Amino acid sequence: MWHSAGGAGRMKENRIRERLLHVARGDEPADIVFRNAEIYHPFSCGWETGDFAVKDGCIAGIGEYRGLSEIDLRGQRVIPGLFDAHVHIESSLLTPYEYGRLVLSHGTTTVVADPHEIANVCGKDGIEYMLAGKSETPLDIFLMLPSCVPATPLEEGGATLTAADLKPFLSRDHVLGLAEMMNVPGVLAGDPEIEEKLALTRVRDGHAPLLTGKGLCAYVLSGLQSDHECTVRGEAEEKLRRGMYIFIREGSTERNIGELAPLVTACNSSRCAFATDDCHADLLLGDGHIDRCIRSAIESGLEPEIAIRMATLTPAERFGLSDRGALAPGRLADFCVLDRDADDFRIRQTFKRGVLWEDPGKTGRTPRIIQKPFACSVPDIAALQLHGSGKARVIGLVPGQIVTEDLRFDLDTGAIPDTERDILKAVVCSRYRENRAGLGVVHGFGLTEGAIAASISHDSHNVVAVGVSDEDIHRALALVIKSSGGMAAVTGKEKTVLPLACAGLMSSRPFEEVVRALSLLRAHTERMGAVPDPFMYLSFLALTVIPSLRVTDRGLFDVQAFRDVGIFSGA
């Protein structure tokens, strides 16, 4: 409630506070009193039996109160609404409205989103789109501004966002600061453009996978305050000690809780939070959101009370959102009722601003989307050909991680696909420019027939494809490009497509349909012999800020050397 503190906002705050004061004192009835709750307090990581009173969507008091209505919770456990410290909503493939539908049901009431994907495609319009999204769903969507659009100076995506472009957004409601600063070399070099962005705000999220020692010190003193890229316990421990908040990430392919949860203690839980970063809609529906993180952490041996603190108060403190994160007077009445009949940690009900969240289901409403026609044609099949032989650099997938390996294979391009050794061709085709396609070779997808393609391809979101034959790759690319965005799997004449009408990143359809399409895609790719979640690996194949080897619309890219390389050049 005290978050926005300027002029008119403060007057409104004062009026709300005055009304709450009457209720808190017991002079006037609350809107609603929740009786017989077992209330979790993140300040002490403990429980308290009692009633609490809600007025105007805020907690007025805890104790014996009268209410215009009352709900008896019969001793059920109540925790503050869950909080995702760092997420790209676009990765769910859903519009903000549909995303809200899904995660609210899982107990999430606040997310800090980085509209990095849509900003790479649509620039400032993309940020505006996400800002408007927060008014379509009861879910509180706060934004951190994308710091690296494009991800590197070498990329040519849909937009470039300078410090001057970002600055006006910082005074906007629900904008908190600067999102994950991925340009680690730029930070360490004191790049003036980066400095200018860092100086825009005092709230700055980091992104520094495997950074250690002197580099980490330089990065931290440059003002980066958090990291969600830790994959190794020692890495997270060092970053904690250097003063960073650690957002332990559990996304669709990025699963770090098993490794990192043992690091969390009662003492450092005030510096550790959860983040989902990138999660497809099917994972959100089937396994959950931050509730899933809590379950995973508990399975990894963490006390539930510590895990809940990480999912509530800690991120609220980290982002200075003193109006939430706990069930305490003056804070938002965002809370969850736990399912006491479940064997593990399950959310039974979510209340947002004191109101029970009830999913309206598929309403048939037409969502607001942002259209961005592709500027490229489908490349000629000849442009997909690869020549040469010898010791080749091959991108190696790492199961469950977004890092890749820089592998060496003796290779003859004539022998690709080499399904024996699981070596396939990868193609990245610019969606913003004509006739620009880059080729690479990848190990680990497992496909034995057909091809897959998608317009989700971090961070520029060109069209990326992997397949066993140029013909299949060509067909898959065509399916995606012709519908200005989508995910496609083809095998001969069989095809499965999920169109992504919203900027080529998100579906315009209800989550039920998206999940169904993903299921069809999964079934299809399984028949093709693919690893689980092949589209998630596909989407990171061109991500030039995460080690080691990537492919872009210019060809192979060595992340450590930070330059384009030839397939047969670096052996």
Residue ranges binding a copy of itself (CB under 8 A): 2, 5, 10, 14, 17-18, 20-21, 24-26, 41, 43-46, 48, 58-63, 65, 188, 190, 195, 199, 202, 213-218, 220-223, 225, 237, 240-243, 265-271, 305-306, 309, 317, 322, 326, 328-331
Residue from 4, 52, 30 nearest 329 by CA:
52
Distance of closest approach, residue 247 Cβ to a copy of itself, in angstroms:
14
Q: Which is nearer to a copy of itself, 328 or 481 (CB)?
A: 328
Q: Which is nearer to a copy of itself, 9 or 286 (CB)?
A: 9
Q: Which is nearer to a copy of itself, 106 or 324 (CB)?
A: 324
**Cα atoms found within 13 Å of the Cα of residue 381, Cβ hemisphere only:** 8
The conformation of residue 269, written as its DSSP 8-state character, comes to G
Alpha carbon distance 168, 257 (integer Å): 36
CB count in 10 Å sphere of residue 548: 18
Q: Which is nearer to a copy of itself, 58 or 392 (CB)?
A: 58
Q: Which residues contact residue 84 at a Cβ distance below 8 angstroms, ignoring those fewer than 6 apart? A: 103, 108, 110, 111, 112, 274, 275, 276, 289, 290, 315
Distance of closest approach, residue 181 Cβ to a copy of itself, in angstroms:
14
Distance of closest approach, residue 327 Cβ to a copy of itself, in angstroms:
9
45: left (phi over 0), alpha (psi -120 to 50) or beta: left
Alpha-carbon dihedral of residues 176, 182, 186, 189, nearest 10 degrees? 90
Distance of closest approach, residue 104 Cβ to a copy of itself, in angstroms:
24
Distance of closest approach, residue 261 Cβ to a copy of itself, in angstroms:
15
Q: Which is nearer to a copy of itself, 215 or 547 (CB)?
A: 215
- For the packed helices 96-105 and 511-527, what is the interaxial angle rounded to 10 degrees? 90
State phi, psi for 176 to the nearest 5 degrees: -105, -30
Give the pair of three-digit tokens for residue 104. 């609210």
Distance of closest approach, residue 11 Cβ to a copy of itself, in angstroms:
9
* Tokens 């992504």, located at residue: 500
Q: Which is nearer to a copy of itself, 71 or 244 (CB)?
A: 244
CB count in 10 Å sphere of residue 152: 18
Distance of closest approach, residue 546 Cβ to a copy of itself, in angstroms:
22
CB count in 10 Å sphere of residue 28: 16
Q: Which is nearer to a copy of itself, 266 or 342 (CB)?
A: 266
Which helix (H) or strand (E) segment holds residue 437: the answer is: strand 437-443
Helix segments in 242-332, DSSP class H:
257-260, 281-286, 290-299, 304-310, 313-318
Alpha carbon distance 6, 142 (integer Å): 17
Distance of closest approach, residue 228 Cβ to a copy of itself, in angstroms:
16
Distance of closest approach, residue 70 Cβ to a copy of itself, in angstroms:
17
Q: Which is nearer to a copy of itself, 36 or 377 (CB)?
A: 36
Q: Which is nearer to a copy of itself, 113 or 216 (CB)?
A: 216
Give the pair of three-digit tokens for residue 265. 């203690």
